[in-house]
Amino acid sequence: MNIFASYIPVFLIVLLRTGSAVTFLPFFNTAFFPKRIRIVFAVSLAMVLTPVVNITVPGRPEIVEVIFREVVLGMSMGFCFRLVFFAVEMAAQIISTSMGLSMATVLNPEIGQATELTTLYSMIAVLIFLSMDGHHALIYALVKSFQWAPPGHVSISRLAPAVVQMAGKMFVISLKLAAPIIIAGLTVNLLLGFLQKAAPQMNIFFVGYPLYIVVGFVLLMLGMPIFMNVLGVYLDGAKNDVIRIISLAKG
């Protein structure tokens, strides 16, 4: 019992960081994923890491500050991966609006009202994330984070600007992913404008929407392999962002 008692403070500190990271992980933080399984996963991961990591439990006067810093670091690590998924969902919403699919929306418990295209893109992103062993990369980063930024030596002053910078990069990624459909929609609008001038009696509204959908779906099918490769590059870059976050958090 004395042996197990010595691990309890270490386990609680490890659970703070791992639980915060799991909260922001893709797929794990969706409303479809049961909360009990999410808690069991975080606790099980902390139990596995507790005998592995070598940390010093801080004293009572410092424990509140340590708890806050651990939660912030864990959330920042999970947020690095989650940003890419936010960008994918935002790009899908922009594409749906450009194609005229935004009229038909469904309730997505994760982001609210969303189109079917958003759900499809989110599922593809999750599958690519799992196929690239992104969850293993996060577990590896969690283990290394206790070596590079041990509890009690986490600096938030350098961590916050890096997280804000990555949040700004989310909008850039979403625009890059949606750029082909946006350009195609703009081109179709220009062509329909010339057609309206040439044949004013034609109802452009009924001609335009089917044309937007056909052109959009053709580009989506042709560009799906490129989309998957580009998304893989961004997810791979998220692994490097997690390592950079840990290095900046080192006090």
pTM (whole model) above 0.85: no
Q: What is the mean pLDDT of the chain?
A: 79
Hey, what are 102's tokens? 């935004």
Distances (CA, A) of 39 to 36, 45, 84, 146, 182: 5, 10, 24, 21, 41
55: pLDDT confidence band, cut at 50, 70 and 90?
confident
What is the per-residue pLDDT for 95? 85
Contact criterion met (CB below 8 Å) for 156 and 61: no
**What backbone phi and psi angles, to 5 degrees, belong to 29?**
-100, 10
What is the per-residue pLDDT for 9? 78
HSE, CB side, 13 Å, CA atoms: give it for residue 198.
6
What is the per-residue pLDDT for 63? 75
Residue range 28-55: mean pLDDT, rounded: 76
pLDDT tens digits, one per residue of 222-234: 888 888 888 888 8
Q: How far apart are CA 251 and CA 21, in angstroms?
A: 20
Q: For the chain, how many structural domains are there in total?
A: 1
Q: How far apart are CA 190 and CA 171, in angstroms?
A: 26
DSSP state of 251: -
Q: Which domain holds residue 8?
A: 2-249
Contact criterion met (CB below 8 Å) for 250 and 159: no
